[in-house]
Amino acid sequence: MMSSNSLFQRLAKWCPWLLRDEPKKPVKVLVTGAAGQIGYAIVAMIAKGLMLGADQPVVLHLLDLPVAANALNGVRMELIDAALPLLRGVVATSDEAEAFKGVNVAILIGGWPRRDGMERKDLISKNVTIYKSQASALQQHAAPNCKVLVVANPANTNALVLKEFAPAIPAKNITCLTRLDHNRALGQVAEKLNVHVGDVKNAIIWGNHSSTQFPDASHATVSTDRGERPVRELIADEIWLREEFVTDVQQRGAAVIKARKQSSSLSAASAACDHMRDWILGTPKGTWVSMGVYSDGSYGVPEGVFFSFPVTCEKGEWSVVQGLEIDDFARSKMETSATELKEEKSIAYEFL
């Protein structure tokens, strides 16, 4: 017969909050564009602990446009129907002040989508308006140390607009999503080598979340029976690493749209959870991840833009990995993406 202590330990494995003397206070998490596909996918992930941990209660704040109010209410109802133990409340609204009030984490998915025939300048213009408004709400209503992840494209430049118009939020607390591209890079290497993706680490996405990004596997490693081995050594195909691999990661989103007739949703939601989890709870020792952050000039990248770097995270803070060797090929790719970001910045500033 199982002892009561053994039973408690088994329960605690699945319900770690049982081991705490005092339960954690709920974290308020905002998701904008919550009635959309990525929003619909991510809210359950957050409420099940995939973002902040299996012992962290959450209150979800869901924001979408008034035209999506009925769909947003449907999302709210489904969250209640799921009977999720970590979910301590749901606020579903089209009012930015209400949505941003007191939030500790903000996942900004809502934005103006790019449509056929739309010029990049027009896309940036539409999103500048949206993100100026959200920056004001963030500045006035969010918790002072709120951590922000921008998902909506153009993500890097949307993050820059937030930084400019929400000065009360530290620049280090505003980031943009390149973890989806990072995860895609890990997946491509794993498929090429026929290994488990969990055995691959330390790929890098440099630059913009766009087709100019540079997926870099030159520092990546794979865990094998003989220890960690460099990806470049295991693949030993420089043409694949510089051409097919780079193109496949850059164009993966377009390939998903072609196959599915809709943009990536599940993988984007999962990547956003990965991004926030590692940022808040920390990266494993010896592992880095890719995050779009405000450049401090590392690796010769211009300051004043949001650029994807390899980072490690500890105690809720990220740090750019320093001292990696950058060859001429990588440098040229990074410069191309940096140039695009400076162009986007110039366009955005026309509308600020």
Binding site listing for substrate: 114, 120, 153, 184
What does the alpha-carbon distance between residue 331 and residue 20 come to, in Å, rounded to a whole number? 49
Q: For residues 61, 66, 69 and 75, what is the CA-based torsion angle, rounded to 10 degrees?
A: -40
For the sheet containing 200-201, what is the strand order?
200-201, 221-224, 227-230
* Residue 310 CB partners (closer than 8 Å, separation 6+): 202, 204, 219, 288, 289, 290, 320, 321, 324
Binding residues: 33-39, 64, 114, 120, 127, 151-153, 184
* Residue 209 among the catalytic residues: yes
Per-residue burial over 7-44, b if 16 or more Cβ lie within 10 Å, else e, is eeeeeeeeeebeeeeeeeebbbbbbbbbbbbbbbbbbb
The active-site residue out of 61, 182, 196, 209 is: 209
Helix axes 37-47, 266-281, angle to 10 degrees: 40
Residue 56 exposure: Cα atoms within 13 Å on the Cβ side: 18
Contact 190, 199 (CB under 8 A): yes
Binding residues for NAD(+): 33-39, 64, 127, 151-153
Contact 199, 172 (CB under 8 A): no
- Nearest in space to 64 (alpha carbons), one of 101, 109, 102: 109
Residue 102 exposure: Cα atoms within 13 Å on the Cβ side: 9
Backbone φ and ψ of 224, nearest 5°: -125, 180
Q: Which residues pair with 214 in a beta bridge?
A: 206
**Can you tell me whether residue 196 is helix, strand or coil?**
coil
What does the alpha-carbon distance between residue 190 and residue 208 come to, in Å, rounded to a whole number? 24
What does the alpha-carbon distance between residue 151 and residue 30 come to, in Å, rounded to a whole number? 13
Catalytic residues: 209
